[in-house]
Amino acid sequence: MADEERTEKQRGGGAQDAPEKPASRLEGDGRAAVVSEPAPAGEEDPFRWHTGAKRDHGAEDAIEFIDVKKSFGRNTVLNGLNLSIPEGKISMILGPSGTGKSVCIKHMVGLLYPDEGDVLVHGESVPSMSDDELFEMRKKFGVLFQDGALFGSMNLYDNVAFPLRQHTDKGEDEIAEIVNRRLKEVGLAGAGDRMPNELSGGMRKRAGFARALVLDPEIVLFDEPDSGLDPVRTALLCELIKEVHEENGGAYVVITHDIMSARRVAEYIAILWKGRIVEAGPAEELFNSDNEFVRQFLAGEAQGPLGME
């Protein structure tokens, strides 16, 4: 919170006030006082576009990140992240490559732990869960990892049946009913005996989606469902995500850097950059944001504050 406040104040202060603010502290040559400011004159504040605006999404929070910091060695990936994912909506986390979107998802399911701060799922702190609690908590989630992550040695049917066999004591008849229903839902009815390497990228994604749904998850995470797909298949997959969400409800979190996908399916958008949310809010509000960074990013333009760093 302290960081957020500092950024807020600094932003409120803005460059125009710069001569006044340090002046009130000037003593001697005054330089020491200026150096202690978070963004000394002449150096750009890396968080100047981060309004941290938390526009109301009008729902309960399914997932919350509270002041989360995460570094790998000297590489700070999440740097005081505050983010809420609303219940019952399709949310998208957008951000340039390598900003920590996948790292974010891994915190939600307890595959990574924050160095500082907390991650709450339905109000419960993931980092403080015991192994048993974590195991139970993960049943709430359906996850479609970035590469589809099907088991190469199993046919589609067995891939989709896998979570049911592992996490439930349902009999094979009931499992067959669920697996066939989910395969049909994603347009793969009749493809159950195909092996993953016989499928196109789009079919593998859809199979991964079917597998993510078999335990009737309350929360579904998609890590770049559109990566490696052509524009038509991406559009079809987006439609599928919307349809399945309408049918099943729950909190969907879709990670992407594809703005077209965001336009198609997002109800709530959070833009991640430099380890914090630049802005988050209902999709239509973000697409009309007057924040230069948000405008550039959502328009996919070369001109603007976001460069090739």
Ligand X SMILES: Nc1ncnc2c1ncn2[C@@H]1O[C@H](COP(=O)(O)OP(=O)(O)OP(=O)(O)O)[C@@H](O)[C@H]1O
Binding-site ranges for Mg ion (CB under 5 A): 101-102
Instruction: Give the whole-angstrom CA distance, residue 81 versus residue 118.
Output: 10
CA angle 18, 19, 24 (to 5 degrees): 100
Instruction: Give the whole-angstrom CA distance, residue 170 versus residue 2.
Output: 50
Give yes or no for residue 107 binding ligand X (CB under 6 A): no
Give yes or no for residue 113 binding ligand X (CB under 6 A): no
109 to 98, 104, 135, 175, 255: CA distances (angstroms): 19, 9, 10, 25, 15
CB of 228 to Mg ion, least distance (A): 12
97: partner contacted, choices Mg ion, ligand X, none (Cβ within 5-8 A by kind): ligand X
CB of 90 to ligand X, least distance (A): 19
Q: Which is nearer to Mg ion, 183 or 278 (CB)?
A: 278
Contact 82, 52 (CB under 8 A): yes
Contact 265, 92 (CB under 8 A): yes
Instruction: Give the whole-angstrom CA distance, residue 270 versus residue 286.
Output: 9
Give yes or no for residue 93 binding ligand X (CB under 6 A): no
103: partner contacted, choices ligand X, Mg ion, none (Cβ within 5-8 A by kind): ligand X
Of the residues 56, 58, 60, 72, which one makes contact with ligand X according to CB under 6 A: 72
Of the residues 75, 153, 197, 303, which one makes contact with ligand X according to CB under 6 A: 75
> Can you say whether residue 222 is alpha, beta or left, with left for phi > 0 and alpha for psi between -120 and 50 degrees?
beta
CB of 105 to ligand X, least distance (A): 8
* The token pair that represents 11 in the structure block: 């932003």
Contact 51, 277 (CB under 8 A): no
Residue 165 phi, psi dihedral angles, 5° rounding: -70, -35
How big is the site for ligand X, counted in residues (CB under 6 A)?
12
Give yes or no for residue 261 binding ligand X (CB under 6 A): no
Give yes or no for residue 97 binding ligand X (CB under 6 A): yes
CB of 103 to ligand X, least distance (A): 4
CB of 255 to ligand X, least distance (A): 7
Q: Which is nearer to ligand X, 10 or 99 (CB)?
A: 99
- Could you write out the DSSP letters of every residue in 257-307? S-HHHHHHH-SEEEEEETTEEEEEEEHHHHHT---HHHHHHHHT-SSSS--
CB of 93 to Mg ion, least distance (A): 10
Instruction: Give the whole-angstrom CA distance, residue 84 versus residue 170.
Output: 34
Q: Which is nearer to ligand X, 72 or 151 (CB)?
A: 72
Q: Of residues 178-207, which lie at the interface with ligand X (CB under 6 A)? A: none
Instruction: Give residue number: closest CB to Mg ion.
Output: 102
CB of 129 to ligand X, least distance (A): 20
Give yes or no for residue 103 binding ligand X (CB under 6 A): yes
Rg (CA), the chain: 22
Of the residues 22, 86, 100, 142, which one makes contact with ligand X according to CB under 6 A: 100
Give yes or no for residue 101 binding ligand X (CB under 6 A): yes
Binding site for ligand X (CB under 6 A): 72, 75, 77, 95, 97-103, 257
